[in-house]
Each structure stands twice: as C-alpha cells, then as structure tokens.
Amino acid sequence: MTSQPFLPFALPDLGDDEIAEVVDTLKSGWITTGPKAKRFEQAFAEFLGDPQIECIAVNSATAGLHLALEAIGLGPGDEVITTTHTFTATAEVVRYLGADVKLVDIDPKTMNIDIAAIEAAITPKTKAILPVHYAGLAVDMLALLDIARRHGLRVVEDAAHALPTTLEKELIGTLGSDATVFSFYANKTMTTGEGGMLVTRNRELAKRARVMRLHGMSRDAFDRFTAKVPSWYYEIVAPGFKYNLTDIAAALGLHQLKRLPAFQVRREQIAERFNDAFADLPLILPPQAPEGDTHAWHLYVVRLADDATINRDEFIEGMFAAGIGCSVHYVPLHQHPYWRDRYGLTPEQFPQSQKAYERTISLPLYTAMSDADVERVIQAVRGLLA
C-alpha cells in the first residue's frame, strides 16, 4: 500500500462564496424552498439562454425524471425505451408510475443508447424514449427526435451527466425534447449536495410538475407566505410528492452555476492530459465530442483492450493499492436481480453493454484535483498497464 493520502474517486469543489451564501441563508430564517430556489431557477434559465424554457428545481434528478414522466401522462400499460447501461434511477421512475421499461443495448463507440435498437424496440405500447447522455457525451438527439416524431413518442432526456454538454453547438436542455433533467448530486459537474433541475418549454408540463413537486398544492409555501395579502388557504389538486429543493441547497447552486464555465475548462484539461498519457496503453479511451461541441466530462471512462494483461477487477485493486479510488459506470440494469427477473433479461441480449461492463473503469476526474493528483493517477495507470 502507498504511504500517500488516499485520492478519492470524486470530491465536490466548494469555495468561500458557496459557504457565505449558505450562512446567509441560515441567518435569513428561510431555509426551505423560497427566494434562493427561485433565483436559482431563474439563473439556470439564463444559463440555458432560451426565454421559452421553464426551470423547476427539485431535490434530485430522480425526482425530476419522475415528475416529467408523470406530467406526460405515463401510466400502466405504457412502455418507455431506455438504455441498460445506466444507473437504476433512469428506469425505476418508469416503474413508479406502473409502466414498464424496454431496455436496449449501447453503441460501443459512444457507450450511449444504440439509436437503431431504439427503433427496433418500438411497440404499440411505447409511450416515450428516455435517453441518457453517458459520461457527458451527447446522444445523437437529432436522430432520436426524428424517430420520436415519426412514431408519435414523447422524449425525456436524462441529462444527469450532461451539464454543459452541447450538440450541434446547442446546450443539452435546449433541444426539441419534452423535458430534460439535470443532476446536482455531490459528484456531478456542479453540485447542490442533493438536487436537480427539470427544464421544459412545455407550459402545461411545467405547471403540472410544479404542482406535483409539493404535495399537489395549488400554491407553494413561498407564494402563500410572501404575498402582499398573505393567504393561508390552498387546495390539493392531485396526490403529489415531496420533491422541492431547499434554499440551503439552492445557495450552493447559485455559485456553482457561476463557476461552471471554469469547472468545464478544468475538466477538459484533465481529460486531455489523460488522453495524451494513455494513448500508448492497451485501453479504449473515452469517445470525444464532435468538432465544435462540448463533452461535459462528468466521467472519464476507460475500457481495457483485448491485449491488456490484467482484468478490470485486478486493475481496480491495483489502483486501490496505490491509494486511488476508481469506480465502474455501470453495473448494467440487466445484471441486477430486479430488472433481470422482471423482464427475463440475459447478458446475451446486450452484448455491447456486457462487454463494456466487464472492461470498464472510471478514473478520478474532478476540478478539486491538483496537477500532482492528475500525475499520480497517470503514473498508477501506467504502472499497471505499460
């Protein structure tokens, strides 16, 4: 084992401005959803740069996906097509509503959902497509949206990895889908600790999501207690959820969002350094964004090549022995007992995802890493594979 301090897989990058904003929130007396959550929603809309887009702050991306699917009317008897190569939250929200998922394989070049497999999976029960922008690289949304239009399907994007990813120089979140959901979990490209943002141009969808975000109330607490004529009265118009983002979390988001462009530059620098350092190793390096577009680099995922002399588990053990944390993104859904047993899934149905899973390692990549940390990761990887 190394004598150096352990280098974790991910750490948030929080500064004095975030801390001061949280302290200000605590002193203000308004710590749940209130003025700062509203400011955060407005700032996020401004960041996306489209005045037609509405932003709804929520306490997780999982909550945002659930709200979006509920708002499009998903229910029992419906199917949603998504990738097997994702975290369970992407699919579980479909089951919350009594609908079923139809899992499909990935494109081995991008590790994103296989566009051809989407069209082949469509049945009369298909209601929506739920693409995941894996690791921060955009799905081919132009082709996916064309499929959706031709088959009359709704599209909700899982953009948990994809801030500030672009496609054709347009930010994810501004394309032609029904809704897009971002994550601000602790290891994402910006963080509120826990949190997410649902964005949409569909006014009715946004209205429904806002009501369902807080117990199905006709008015939220901030409106009721800050109106010029305070009103205690509200009506429950639907059996809603408890998905609101607190002002404490939004306080972090306000400054994290300001720092996002600088965060992106640093993530790109680290990814480029890794690419250069690993070019001669038996690794399949992460796919790059098309020329002129942005990869968010939420994850830096390598795959062991056929001529690698060690396997995935040995590699991770070797990195741990060097005091460096790694992860695997993901154990595909078809491997998990619930999804496997419910839908009778086997690895043979998803050969590309299965092969990727068996060879995939996510290396540390976060903005709080120093240049020395980056070099330490490089030396450890080269020591195992060179």
Pair (205, 222) in one structural domain: yes
| End residue of a domain, out of 203, 237, 257 | 257
Residue 210, amino acid? R
Q: What is the mean pLDDT of the chain?
A: 96
Q: What's the rounded mean pLDDT across residues 239-253?
A: 98
Q: What percent of the chain has pLDDT over 70?
A: 97
What pTM does this model have? Answer: 0.97
Residue 11 lies in a domain: no
Q: Which of 330, 369, 337 is nearest to 353 (CA)?
A: 330
pLDDT at 222: 59
Residues 301-322 pLDDT 10s: 999 999 999 999 999 999 999 9
Same domain, 244 and 274: no
DSSP 8-class letter at 242: B
Over residues 36-58, the pLDDT tens digits come to: 999 999 999 999 999 999 999 99
Q: DSSP for 286-329? A: PPPPPTT-----S-EEEEE-TT-SS-HHHHHHHHHHTTB--B-S
Mean pLDDT, range 257-270, rounded to an integer: 98
Q: Which of the four pLDDT bands, split at 50, 70 and 90, describes residue 327?
A: very high
Q: Which of 201, 204, 210 is nearest to 54 (CA)?
A: 201
Residue 27's CATH number = 3.40.640.10
Do residues 193 and 160 both lie within one domain?
A: yes
End-to-end CA distance of the chain: 20
Q: Is residue 336 part of a domain?
A: yes
pLDDT tens digits, residue range 340-377? 999 999 999 999 999 999 999 999 999 999 999 999 99
Is the pLDDT confidence value at 229 over 60? no
pLDDT at residue 231 above 80?
no
244 and 268 both lie in a single domain: no
Containing structural domain, residue 340:
260-385
Q: What is the pLDDT of residue 218?
A: 84
pLDDT tens digits for range 62-90: 999 999 999 999 999 999 999 999 999 99
Burial class (CB in 10 A: 0-12, 13-18, 19+), 358: middle
The domain total for the chain is 2
Instruction: pLDDT band for 224, please (50, 70, 90 cuts).
Output: low
> What is the predicted pLDDT for the residue at 1?
63
Tell whether 241 and 266 lie within a shared domain.
no
Residue 225 has a pLDDT of 59
Catalytic residue among 36, 102, 127, 188: 188
| Inside any domain, residue 304 | yes
**pLDDT at 3 (0 to 100):** 80
Amino acid 232: pLDDT: 79
Query: Is residue 125 domain-shared with residue 221, that is, in the same domain?
Result: yes
- For residue 180, tell me if it sits in a domain: yes
Catalytic (active site) residue 188: yes
